[in-house]
Every structure is written in C-alpha cells, then in structure tokens.
Structure 1
Amino acid sequence: MQRRRTTMSLVVVGQMLPEGAIKGGSAMALRFGRGSRFTRDVDAARVQPIAQFRADFEESLAAGWAGFTGRLVERAAPSPVGVPAGYVMQPFEVKLDYLGQSWCTAKFELGHNEIGDADEPEYRLADDLVGLFTELGLPAPRPVPVMQADHQIAQKLHAASCPGSDRARDLVDLQLLDAGEDLDLGTVAATCERLFSYRQQQQWPPTLTVGEGWDELYRAAADGLDVHASAGEAVVWVNEFVKRIEDAATNHGR
C-alpha cells in the first residue's frame, strides 16, 4: 500500500509541476511504470529562476488536481565536498492532502537547467500508472513532462563514471532506456559530449568499472527487472553501449 501511494504521489506532483521536466529515477518510473526500479524521490529540473519556480509551484499545489492539494516545504541543501554549488539539488518536501486530509509526503529535489535538458521535455505516463488512479474511480492523470532520453542517458553515464560513484542503479536505467526507447544514438552522442564538457569533471567517452559495493546495490536496483543479472555483466554492457554511441557519432560525421 505504501509503495502504491508513493508511486501515485509522483504522478500527482507531476500534474501540478510548473515549467520544467522530471528527471532521474522518477522520470524512469513515469516512462516505464512497474517495469522500472522503485524510487521514493521526485527529481526535477527547472527552466525558471528558483524563486519563480517556487512561487508557481506553490500556486499550483494550492489550486490542486482531482481533489489533491499540497504545500511546499524547503529543506536545507547539502554541501558535498568538491561539487560546485550550481550542481547541488535543492531539497523540498511536498505535503500532499486529499480532500483536505493528510495523504502523503513526497521528497522533491530541484536542479537547474544545465544544457537545455529541461527546455523541451517529452510527455510520458505509463499505462499502469494511469490505472492506479482509474481503478479507484479517480480521473486519469495526463502525461507528465520528463527529460528527453538523450539527456537522461548523458546524465546517467556521467554519474556512473564519476570516481567513487555509488550509482550502480544507473546501470539498470541505461539498459531500460536502450531497450524501451527508440534512440537516435547520434543525438545521444552529441548530448553526452556537451554534458561532459559542460561539467568539466571527467572525459568523454568514459570507461566504467565496477565500483565498491556495486554488486549489492545493483542486485537491489535490478530486482525483478529484465536486465543483466550482475553489476559486472552490466558494466560490460554499458561500456559496449558507450562504444555504440561513439560509433554513431563517427557515422554522423563528427
């Protein structure tokens, strides 16, 4: 029941989101529904200044959708060592009510629009997530703006290839995006090159290795999904995926 409510809260927040795009694991859930790993957080990128985004979001939450309303509560932002302030996500909680009664609290993290990744979102919502609402007699939610697949892939490859990364879960998401989306690998290559250059942390193309603790982290993220069984197999696959992306860039005349 709690997992269902958490997933529904992601969709509800998406109905009231101002201009921008859902990203990360929450975007994967909106794309693929139960065919993705479970996530408890809602991550988004904004195109407006943060003050304007917050004002618009608070207005939208107060107006509500289908009996759901909400309040935005800001939390202290972390200060991770070595991470530029512009890259740090601003955390919030969205306190959701249904028909005036407390219903669910959604963790919400807001990032900025790095290389135009929130400018032209795709609108997606898996059928099984729609069913969570219609089965209860609620209105069918509309598709939610999610970050385009090429930007998601670039961000996940960057995160997974950072030294000391614990992002074994991104190996799962990369496999799902490759299998579930009609990717233009030439576009993916161009976006990866832009993001890696913009962040100036590691070089494109990366070569991934199995990080500390990845075996257990990967098994937990991959549980029940149609992906490689182990982190080692997934890393081999991701490095082959990077090569396919690079080959596409060459074929596009880079």
Structure 2
Amino acid sequence: MIRFNSDYTEGCHPAILERLAATNMEQTPGYGEDVYCAAAAEQIKEACAAPEAAVHFLVGGTQTNVTVISAALRHYQGVITAVTGHINVHETGALESCGHKCLTIETADGKLTAEQIAAYTDAHYADASFEHTVQPKMVYISNPTEIGTIYKKAELEAIYDVCKERGLYLFLDGARLGYGLTCRENDLTLADVAALTDVFYIGGTKVGALFGEAVVITNEELKRDFRYNMKQRGGMLAKGRLLG
C-alpha cells in the first residue's frame, strides 16, 4: 500500500544510507564539529550565495523553530504568525512553553502580507499602554505554508522591507522549502530566500533525508551565541556528523 498521509513515511534516499554505512567507523569530533558538517555548511553557503552566513544543523522542525525563535527573542517579545502557522497549531505549544507568545493574524490563504504585518505592528505601538502587551519582534512564515500556498518573490521582498522598517526579524520555516522552490509557480531561488530573510532553514527530514534541518543565519545579531541555545534546547546532537 502506498501511503499519502505524510512525506516522511519512508526512511531516506538510499544514497544517504550508503554514505553513512561507508563512513560508519570513522572517528570524528562530536556536536557538529566534524569535517562532514563543515563541508555541508560550505556547500549550503555557496548554494545560498551567502558566504558570511552561519549554518547550524538540528534534528527536526519543531525543535528548530523553538531554538531559532527563543534565541532571537527576549522574554517579553512574541512572534507574528498566520493563525494557521505551524508554530501556532501543530507544535503542542512548544514555543509558548519557552515563554514566547504567537501573535496570530487571520489570513485568506495561509500567507501573511506586508500590509498585515505593518498594520499589526503599528497598532501595537499606537496603543497608549503598549508596554503592557507582548512586543512583536519577529515574523514567522513558512514556504510552502501550512495549507500549501507559496510566497512569490515580490511578496517576500515586501515583507522583508516592512520587517526592516519596523525592526522585526524575518524567520522562514523551510521544513518543506525543497517543494516550494521546485513548484511550477515559484519564482524564488535559494539565494533570494537567504537575501530576503534574517534566518531560515533548509529542511531535510521531509524531503528525502534521514533527518535534519540546516539553519542559515544571515543577520549578524542572531549569530551570536546561537550554539548555546542549541544545546539548551536539546538541539546539539552528540553524533552531529550524521547530520552533516
């Protein structure tokens, strides 16, 4: 029987297992400090046309979302997301358990717009008691969205511009980015995604890898001490070379 209930019911591409078997008895440093993670990071930076980016490897999507967002935000800050966003509806309150609120916006198609983000942020600061409410500091989007729609380049450019104008970080959940970039309607490249976000990740778990997500950080503010937060959130895999 062929199952269509998810895109990770199988193990991984056979070539990955072959490579793991071939290198299985090699002894390498742990926690992502090995030659395979280093080589993978360099290839990712080249593909993203982002030589100054920081690349980190985590295991799964929810862990990655929580690690990235909690590393970026102070305790009184929250993240703007579509009400259908994965962090809001399919992560068992993982982000809220870290003390950060999902600031939700109703959308017509699962996609946030620049206008919605601007209106939400402006309304926050227009409130006379704005310091009594959660401060919006990050925008979370996924591509594709939770309902399968994708962002066009012009939409991502507009969102990024609004985020820069209002001091917001833009985080793109790329658990299924591979699908989005190969969609017939897509006009984004990996380099575009890197240039038009502060941080995003390239998902492996849902696109044929055994497991693993590659976080790409382009904003200098978010690079600092990221591995501390990885470790605290359980994201620093001891046998990190498996991710590489």
Q: Same fold (TM over 0.5)?
A: no
- TM-score range (shorter-chain normalised) is under 0.3
TM-score in terms of structure 1 length: 0.22
